[in-house]
Amino acid sequence: MINQTEQMTYRLSLLDAQYQKNTYQMSTKNSLQQGSDDSMLYSRLISVDDKIRTYEGLKIQVERTNIQNNAADSSMSEVKKILESIKSELIKANTATTSSEGMSAIASNISGLKENLFQLANTQVEGEYVFAGSDSSVKPFEKDVNGKVTYVGNNQLRKVAVEEGSYRDRGVTGFDMMMYPSSTANKGETLTFSETDRIIDQDGNEWKLNSPTNNTLTKYDSQGNITAETITPVTSDALTPPTFSALMPNVDGTKFEAKTNIFNLMDDTLNALNKVDSVGNPISDDLARTLIGKNQSQMDKAYDGVNVAHAQLGGRNKVFEISLERVSSKLTQYDVLSQQLGSADLSKVAMEAKALELTYTALYSTINKTNTLSLVNFLN
């Protein structure tokens, strides 16, 4: 009798445990209440949920990058419109009928456009500067008390994850969007450049003139660290700022570009329109018109350079748009897989619940009958 009671109690405990599991599955629609219920299934669920978290993070990052890319694209479009306006103004300025008053008016207009360019070059989205290079926390263009604008960002693009272990370059740098190649030289050729130009080689390293002697070009790596490699330039003329030329190394794959800051070009143009040189000394009308014509040609190069940079930006932006579609698709697939693996079969659960109900009924009926037995009846 005692042994039978223990068996009944044990069976009830098993039924109670199964009932709790069924109740959990019915209420949450999850198949597993504890990992020990099915260790293999639990392991698969953990793996899939880890993938979901990974792709959720990637999706957020790529979405944020797309927002920054769209802002960069919009800014580049505005920069091109401004340069088109400047080109139009220089055409008018390079006409013999344009008076001194007309020159001054054009100079005033271009000065305002320069300020607009400065704002666009420092476009910021969600606390990040989109044209600063790899360190988006740095304000890329700075202006001194004399109005001279300098690029202080770097020449390295920021890399953004678009897949597990896979990264893509984002945007364009200030070297691309507000500088244009005024001179190019391959191996063994001569590069001509101004003192204010930035010299970039095929690997993205910058070569800087040593100050104040300007008799050596020294290589700085992509991290801004000085190296032992040097090139000796020669002075080509006595202009202010001076112009130099340098023979490039006779090594296969060598390519150097002299990058001219568009803001410097605008400053030179404003000086010519105001009939002064770079230090404020008056110049003749003829020299002023000659310089305006030269700067008009350089402005065409600047526009072409910005156009190329805009095309590069568009190509990189497209990569992230496609990446967002791919990441979103994979996230959806993993979400569906997680639901399929983790969801309880409600039809099966309902059938088990009904079977439990019948088992409970039968067991309690047996217990009830057992409790009504007398010792005499039991012995009989």
Mean local confidence (pLDDT), 266-285: 89
Cβ burial 101-124 (10 Å sphere, 16+ → b, else e): eebebbbeebbebbeebbebbbbb
Please compute Rg for the chain using Cα positions.
37
**pLDDT tier at 36, thresholds 50, 70, 90:** low
Could you tell me which residue, 342 or 136, shows the higher pLDDT? Answer: 136
Give me the amino acid identity at 188.
Answer: G
Could you tell me which residue, 228 or 35, shows the higher pLDDT? Answer: 228
pLDDT tens-digit profile of 21-32?
A: 656 555 555 655
**pLDDT tier at 280, thresholds 50, 70, 90:** confident
CA 284 to chain centre: 48
**pLDDT tier at 156, thresholds 50, 70, 90:** confident
Instruction: Please state, for a pLDDT cut of 90, what percent of the chain lies above it.
Output: 46
65 pLDDT exceeds 90? yes
102 pLDDT exceeds 60? yes
Residue 339: predicted pLDDT: 73
**pLDDT tier at 67, thresholds 50, 70, 90:** very high
CA atoms within 13 A on the CB side of 78: 17
Mean local confidence (pLDDT), 300-323: 94
Backbone φ, ψ for residue 204 (5° rounding): 85, 5
Structure letter (DSSP) for residue 282:
B
**What Cα–Cα distance (Å) separates residue 246 from each residue in 147, 187, 336?**
30, 11, 62
Mean local confidence (pLDDT), 270-293: 89
Residue ranges per structural domain of the chain? 1-29+346-380, 54-330
Report field, pTM of the whole predicted structure over 0.85: no
Residue 95: predicted pLDDT: 85
**pLDDT tier at 199, thresholds 50, 70, 90:** very high
Mean local confidence (pLDDT), 69-91: 95
1 pLDDT exceeds 60? no
How buried is 29 (Cβ within 10 angstroms: 0-12 exposed, 13-18 middle, 19+ buried)? middle
**CATH code, 54-330:** 1.20.1330.10
Report the 10 Å Cβ neighbour count for 198.
19
59 pLDDT exceeds 60? yes
218 touches 164 (CB < 8 A): no
Instruction: Please state, for a pLDDT cut of 70, what percent of the chain lies above it.
Output: 78
Mean local confidence (pLDDT), 205-226: 86
343 pLDDT exceeds 70? no
Helix (H, G, I), strand (E, B) or coil at 184: strand
**pLDDT tier at 221, thresholds 50, 70, 90:** confident
CA atoms within 13 A on the CB side of 109: 16
